[in-house]
Amino acid sequence: MAERKRQLVANELTEAALQLLASKGYDAVTVDEIVATAGVSRRTFFRYFASKEDVVVQFLADLGTGMRAELAGRPGEERPSVALRHAVWAGLAACADPSDHTERALRVVRLILRTPALLARFLERQARWREELADELARRLGRDAGTDLYPRMAAGMALSAFDTVLRRWSESEGVADPAELTDRAFALIAPALDADLR
């Protein structure tokens, strides 16, 4: 019950922020306006979010956890390109699932990609995801992520595919099929991901 209430408040704050940001622009919106629109106190806001940037970026923040969990759950004998494609799709599907607020996700993605401060925070998150995916890939392959170039390079390629598909989907206003874009992206990088690893 407490977790459900917490999620409701976080959702209300995010929705209030998105409405204001869409109408006024990122730089013109203050935390005070967000809390007034959501009907909560500043103290409540800062209990959920560290900054105005976080209220937007948080919407996509858990994607990295989902990608790593998906990679960890893939069969051990699966080729890296297939396992990483499924991991990336776990993140993209969370954005593009028609039953789960696609329009809201599209607004957030567009806002992040078009606002330098938000894009910087999102890229910071992606850097963490790269390390997490590299560690998981190294574990799967019995390699050392600290000394072996492959895990970090492979994770970087997978996240480059993620970023490219997310941008193309956003630019198409959600019309482009992210599953088809993901398949095309991984068809391009699969030979490098699956090259003989020596």
- pLDDT, tens digit, for every residue of 134-160? 999 999 999 998 999 999 999 999 999
User: Which CATH topology does 2-49 take?
Assistant: Arc Repressor Mutant, subunit A (1.10.10)
Q: Which CATH number fits domain 58-193: 1.10.357.10, 3.90.650.10, 3.30.420.40, 2.170.120.12?
A: 1.10.357.10
Burial of 11 (0-12, 13-18, 19+ CB in 10 A): middle
C-alpha to C-alpha distance for 129 and 65, rounded to whole angstroms:
8
Give per-residue pLDDT as tens, 21-67.
877 888 889 999 999 998 899 999 999 898 888 887 776 677 888 89
Q: Where are the domains of the chain?
A: 2-49, 58-193
C-alpha to C-alpha distance for 93 and 79, rounded to whole angstroms:
21
- Both tokens assigned to 60: 């996509």
Q: Minimal CA–CA distance to 40: which of 14, 2, 9, 3?
A: 9
Give per-residue pLDDT as tens, 52-63.
888 877 766 778
pTM here is 0.83
**Torsional sign, CA 148, 151, 154, 156:** negative
CB neighbours (10 Å) of residue 173?
A: 10
Half-sphere exposure of 12 (CA within 13 A, CB side): 15
Per-residue confidence band for 106, with pLDDT thresholds at 50, 70 and 90: confident
pLDDT at 108 over 70: yes
Q: Hunting for tokens 């329009």 — which residue is that?
A: 103
